[in-house]
Copies of this chain bind each other. A is one copy, B any other.
Amino acid sequence: MTAAKVYTGDVEYFPSVQRIAFEGPDSDNPFAFKAYEADRVVAGKSMAEWFRFSVCYWHTFTAGGQDPFGPATRTFPWDAPSDEMAAAHERQDAAFEFFTKLGVPFYCFHDRDIAPQGATVLESESRLEQMVTRAKALQQETGMRLLWGTANLFGDPRFMNGASTNPDFTAVAHAGAQVRAALDATIALGGENYVFWGGREGYASLINTQTHRELAHMARFLGMARDYGRANGFTGTFLVEPKPMEPMKHQYDFDAQTVIGFLRHHGLDGDFKVNVEANHATLAGHAFAHELQMCTDAGLLGSIDANRGDPQNGWDTDQFPADINDALHAMIVVMRAGGLGRGGFNFDAKVRRESVEMEDLFIGHILAMDNFARALVIADRIAADGRVDDFLRDRYATFDSGPGAAFERGELTLLALRDHAVDHAVAHTSGKQEWLENIINDLMFRG
């Protein structure tokens, strides 16, 4: 499922790193997997199929560590050419070298990541088309695939007050232009999904905002994009990615339930699903696994942006996911859901600003892939062990037959409930949380 061989362009950008191989748990090699073994079959599917890992273009190839208090700390060699398009070519070569050395099957990008914005809409479109043509050739050469495309509707100052929710119609039109071109690019590259992350879709202050109108515009806009995509051959899934805040004070796609409610209300849930990012979940006051569960319950889990935040920091730190517990609870949900379908695990993650060696880019990804690989194996062990699932089945058994089942089928009235209560006392039954936590911890280390 991954590239047969390593790609390098005219320049080899990561000469010190070769194709990352699985070396097993006893290896000390920083450039080897200790747990992720692409072809290893777990619960009926290979690791590669379970995860469909994806590298994101923006953090890894376009952002060098700038933060609100300082500039970039990593100077990328591919940014050397003064001609923007020449640099874009080099960056693309570097990206495909990285993808194929790392051994992931997918990647993701915003329009502006792969093609610099032009002076006009037409020039921007032309540049994107050139880079898409080049990407297509590289995909064919390497076997790499596009997990999803998207448009950057938050960077340019024209979107400072929002894109589809901008108070100025012309800004909405420019958002439309970018989405049109990004959809074309996604279709041309066989993208499996198309993502909307509403970076500026929200407000800085309620006092200068008509939220009702902005939300109606957002729904209208998503519908128009859906119609265009479907009419032009896009058969993949549209995804909305929740985030509660940052850069805006409030963002409309606050969390999974907010997005699910919005999609259903506007009749978009047939074409749209949710792209859950771990760090956005925690910013919204939720566990990562909670957001995944809410989407699974709604049948709307589309894809995952696998990263993590810092529990003590209130902004998007976008760290590589290193926590075995977070990964494990995510994989328990994903395994029960049977996997992500056309979605995948995209690493919307960046190495720390202080991690300035080019090799650190590989190390961050290895950290994350090994972590999720371990989580998959443990989740499978828990399923095979059966105690947790048995407990859950028994816990809800009163609804499987008799009056509980009638209640589920909608056959009881409130009075019938009351009459049942008159005759029955509630059993005082332990929730056994600590016992289940014990089982999970024990199985984590029974490898």
Contact = CB atoms under 8 A, between A and B. Distances in A.
Given A314-B313, A421-B170, A35 B445 contact: yes
Interface in A299-357: 310-317, 320, 322-325, 329, 332, 351-357
A433 B157 contact: no
Contact of A220 (B66, B407, B433): B407
Given A264-B264, A284-B285, A445-B447, A171 B426 contact: yes
Interface in A247-277: 247, 249-250, 254-255, 257-258, 260-262, 264-265
B213 A396 contact: yes
Contact of A433 (B69, B289, B355, B403): B355
Given A356-B430, A363-B434, A407-B220, A211 B294 contact: yes
Given A70-B155, A312-B249, A160 B353 contact: yes
A208 B434 contact: no
Contacts of A432: 208, 355, 357, 360
A413 interface: yes
A388 interface: yes
A115 B217 CA distance: 46
A170 B416 CA distance: 12
A370 interface: yes
A134 interface: no
A292 to B, nearest CB: 10
A238 to B, nearest CB: 13
Contacts of A413: 224, 227-228
Interface stretch (A4-12, A37-45, A135-143, A172-180): A172-180
A435 B320 CA distance: 11
Contacts of A445: 25, 34-35, 374, 445, 447
A116 interface: no
B427 A320 contact: no
B206 A290 contact: yes
A424 B261 contact: no
B257 A261 contact: yes
Contacts of A392: 208, 210
Contact of A247 (B34, B68, B215, B247): B68
Given A396-B167, A430-B355, A431-B161, A122 B323 contact: no
Interface centre among A179, A282, A430 (most CB of B within 10 A): A430
Closest 9 CB pairs of A and B: A314-B314, A261-B261, A176-B417, A354-B431, A169-B404, A177-B421, A228-B414, A158-B426, A169-B398
A103 interface: no
A225 B441 contact: no
A216 interface: yes
Contact of A172 (B71, B213, B290, B417): B417
Nearest to A181: B418
Nearest to A166: B426
